[in-house]
Homo-oligomer: A and B are copies of this chain.
Amino acid sequence: MKILVQKFGGTSVATPESMKRVREKVLSGLAQGCKVVAVLSARAGETNKLLALAEEWSASPDLAETDALVSTGEQVSVSLFAMMLKDAGIRARSLLAWQIPIVTDDDFGNARIRSIDSAILKDCLAEYDVLVVAGFQGRTADGRITTLGRGGSDTSAVALAAVLNSVECEIYTDVDGVYTTDPNICSTARKMDHIAYEEMLEMASMGAKVLHIRSVEFAKKYKVPVRVRSTFSNDPGTLVTQEDSRMEAVLVSGIAYDKDQARVTLRDLPDIPGTAAAVFGPLSEKGILVDMIVQNTSLDGRTDITFTIPRKDLRQTLEIMEDVAPRTGASEVIHDVSVAKVSAIGVGMRNHSGVAARAFSALTQEGINILMISTSEIKITILIQEKYVELAVRILHDAFGLDWDID
């Protein structure tokens, strides 16, 4: 039995009209000779409405009760869609997470999937042609409802695809795939036919909101081929999969950027053991995510430490630094919010040198000053002044030949 998992987000299931488009996608899955498992989110806006209700009724909404409340959003979607499928003569039924069950830990509001029992799913697939499964939700081992956190429906879909050995996991969204960079700022951006899990993770963490990052980790772990495609077209979309020789032949697959950055520098600290811990320990305690870190080469036993953080955390970071600076002997704390990151991402970097040099030289030639650099195995990230970000994206996109169709 061939099984195809398809996931549809909130805008795809918002109205009877959009649901009819979803039904077409399900029918095309059936036409390919597959049984279809359709994973649905809540209708657009519903989850926020339910959360607002909780805030209205409770001074501090209990997390477990909030999950029981919010999970009704998907319950409404799946029962409505199952009705529509039955109207069209399709053998279909809805399934909630507890009915399968999809078992999670008890981290209410942000639960992680522990196991999925495939026995009931397989019984249902023998009896029905389409199973309409509520995304985003799970249940604990002792039977309480949980939710998987924002974007969790992607994770539900990938996990079901893994358990059912689905031919692919199709993630339907309102764009027709993953692009080499943001088409809004680079007119030569191309939709990719393939992208490796690792590349997708780096793209996702840079704010390309096509796929929920946790779902990509899950897909990578269980080797689930994920296809990102549009509810509004028949384009085959982008296949997110294991890296192969074709991908490795390409140096850089995509250019990402992130404007939500602030830079903080502690000046003229004594370069002694424990200084970095004294600076970053208090930030980590407050849950502030430090991204890039640079420490200058020590000059007569003193140094500077510079790091970047999300812009919303700047005020709190500066408060913490007011306390940290005197304790570490820093002479001064300076900051800058007019900075941004651009990244070149590609599994091909693993086997090639000179990628960083090519990026630096392309940016420098156009007069863009490089403020900070950090590199990983498959990514080079460069901090620049925010006003140059669109230009830098176009320069790098061009420098690595991403406007050429090489597939």
Chain A residues packing against B (C-beta within 8 Å): 16, 19, 50, 53-54, 56-62, 64-66, 68-69, 71-72, 75-76, 78-80, 82-84, 86-87, 93-94, 96, 98-99, 120, 143-145
CA separation between A84 and B53, bound complex, in Å? Answer: 12
CA separation between A56 and B84, bound complex, in Å? Answer: 10
Which 5 interchain pairs have the tightest Cβ spacing? A58-B83, A72-B72, A69-B79, A68-B79, A65-B79
CA separation between A48 and B397, bound complex, in Å? Answer: 55
Chain B residues, Cβ within 8 Å of A58: 80, 83-84, 86-87
**Are the C-beta atoms of B83 and A61 separated by less than 8 Å?**
yes
Nearest CB of chain B from residue A201's CB, rounded to whole Å: 34
Chain B residues, Cβ within 8 Å of A65: 79-80, 82-83, 86, 93-94
**A62 partner, pick from B60, B69, B83, B120, beta carbons under 8 A:** B83
Name A's interface SS: helix
Chain B residues, Cβ within 8 Å of A66: 79, 83
**Are the C-beta atoms of A76 and B72 separated by less than 8 Å?**
yes
**Are the C-beta atoms of B72 and A75 separated by less than 8 Å?**
yes
Chain B residues, Cβ within 8 Å of A69: 75-76, 79-80, 83
How many chain copies does the complex carry?
A: 2
- 9 sample A-B contacts, Cβ–Cβ < 8 Å, listed by A number: A16-B56, A57-B84, A59-B87, A60-B87, A62-B86, A65-B79, A65-B86, A66-B83, A68-B94
Most buried by B among A50, A60, A80, A87: A80
CA separation between A68 and B82, bound complex, in Å? Answer: 10
Nearest CB of chain B from residue A48's CB, rounded to whole Å: 15
CA separation between A84 and B66, bound complex, in Å? Answer: 11
Chain B residues, Cβ within 8 Å of A93: 64-65
**Are the C-beta atoms of A83 and B98 separated by less than 8 Å?**
no
Chain B residues, Cβ within 8 Å of A71: 75
Nearest CB of chain B from residue A116's CB, rounded to whole Å: 15
Nearest CB of chain B from residue A103's CB, rounded to whole Å: 14
Given contacts A16-B56, A62-B83, A68-B78, 16 further A-B contacts (CB under 8 A): A53-B80, A54-B79, A57-B83, A58-B80, A58-B84, A58-B86, A65-B82, A65-B83, A66-B83, A68-B82, A69-B80, A71-B75, A72-B76, A96-B145, A98-B98, A120-B143
CA separation between A100 and B56, bound complex, in Å? Answer: 28
CA separation between A62 and B143, bound complex, in Å? Answer: 27
Decide yes or no: A62 and B82 within 8 Å by CB, A57-B16, A57-B19 being known contacts.
Answer: yes
Most buried by B among A68, A76, A99: A68
Chain B residues, Cβ within 8 Å of A68: 75, 78-79, 82, 94, 96
Nearest CB of chain B from residue A236's CB, rounded to whole Å: 29
Chain B residues, Cβ within 8 Å of A16: 56-57
Chain B residues, Cβ within 8 Å of A144: 99
**Are the C-beta atoms of B72 and A54 separated by less than 8 Å?**
no
CA separation between A57 and B54, bound complex, in Å? Answer: 27
Decide yes or no: A53 and B82 within 8 Å by CB, A60-B87, A94-B65, A98-B98 being known contacts.
Answer: no
CA separation between A79 and B144, bound complex, in Å? Answer: 12
Decide yes or no: A54 and B83 within 8 Å by CB, A68-B96, A93-B64 being known contacts.
Answer: yes
Chain B residues, Cβ within 8 Å of A19: 57
Chain B residues, Cβ within 8 Å of A145: 96
CA separation between A54 and B84, bound complex, in Å? Answer: 9
